[in-house]
Amino acid sequence: MSPIQNFELHSRHLVEPDLPIQMRLQYAMEVRDSLEIAHTAEYLNFLKCYFRAFSVILLQITKPQFVDNPEHKLRNIVVEILNRLPHSEVLRPFVQDLLKVAMQVLTTDNEENGLICIRIIFDLLRTFRPTLENEVQPFLDFVCKIYQNFRMTTSHFFDNTSVAVEDTKGLLSAGHVGNGQLNPSTRSFKIVTESPLVVMFLFQLYSRLVQTNIPHLLPLMVAAISVPGPDKVPPRLKTNFIELKSAQVKTVSFLTYLLKSFADYIKPHEESICKSIVNLLVTCSDSVSIRKVNDP
């Protein structure tokens, strides 16, 4: 594929209102395949032309998708491009807007795009941390939400509940059955698994956030690791079960971190945490990779 010759013209084409989805997807793939330009002196010009276009695609032109279709593919490519942007000083003027876009996608999109956005958020906070404290709380609020949903997420995957039935009805009415369902980021063990490391980093970076967030977040985490999951796991749900246990083990790792520095917060929950750890040791017995997650 030939490199893009005119960023400004190409980026305008990318967001033309009546452009067919397949053509917009093609333009996005051309940008992705030309991304080495971001490692040259043209990086600032690239950002000036494309950053707004990427934001418009994710926030206005397309909507989060929960089936695998061309619109999801387009959003996924754009999010992946944003994830691959070099974190040099050239990016700094765009960082706050990029964080907001990534947060919007993380909180509303599917698991696949959400996982990429967690990486974007973590890397931006790690690289540009002195100026971004005000952008942190929305992420912590989202983490509270996914832990609040944890028991319901477990029920969705492992119980024959009305929740799953309603989801199926919604997909039927939307005509998406057979296209490959995508899990919402708010109902994802994988998203939960990735979140504690970011929270740990944020607490180390902005210590004042501990006092304002731990009283709400800690009980939700303690409740999440106490969710037992199914007694018997059919083969088709084996992957979901491993993801459940991975999320719980990563949460225990975070609680261990809190114990070292903020023991007073942990003390009221110590009995419940101990019971949950014992249960994890039992239920993870056939998943060696999970059991080793907490190893130093």
| Mutual angle of helices 21-33 and 7-14, in 10-degree steps | 150
User: What confidence tens digit (pLDDT) does each residue in 34-74 have?
Assistant: 999 999 999 999 999 999 999 999 999 999 999 999 999 99
User: What confidence tens digit (pLDDT) does each residue in 149-191 have?
Assistant: 999 999 999 986 444 444 434 433 332 323 489 999 999 999 9
Average pLDDT over residues 251-262: 91
Q: Give the percent of the chain with pLDDT over 70.
A: 88
Nearest to 198 by CA among 247, 143, 148: 143
Q: What is the mean pLDDT of the chain?
A: 88
Answering whether pTM is above 0.85, one says yes
Q: Is residue 291 predicted with pLDDT exceeding 80?
A: no
Contacts of 266 (CB under 8 A, 6+ apart): 218, 255, 258, 259, 273
CB 90 within 8 A of CB 39: no
User: What confidence tens digit (pLDDT) does each residue in 103-159 have?
Assistant: 999 999 999 999 999 999 999 999 998 677 778 899 999 999 999 999 999 999 998
Nearest to 148 by CA among 217, 215, 212, 82: 217
Looking at residue 296, what DSSP letter applies?
-
Nearest to 81 by CA among 69, 70, 91: 91
Residues β-bridged to residue 181: 67
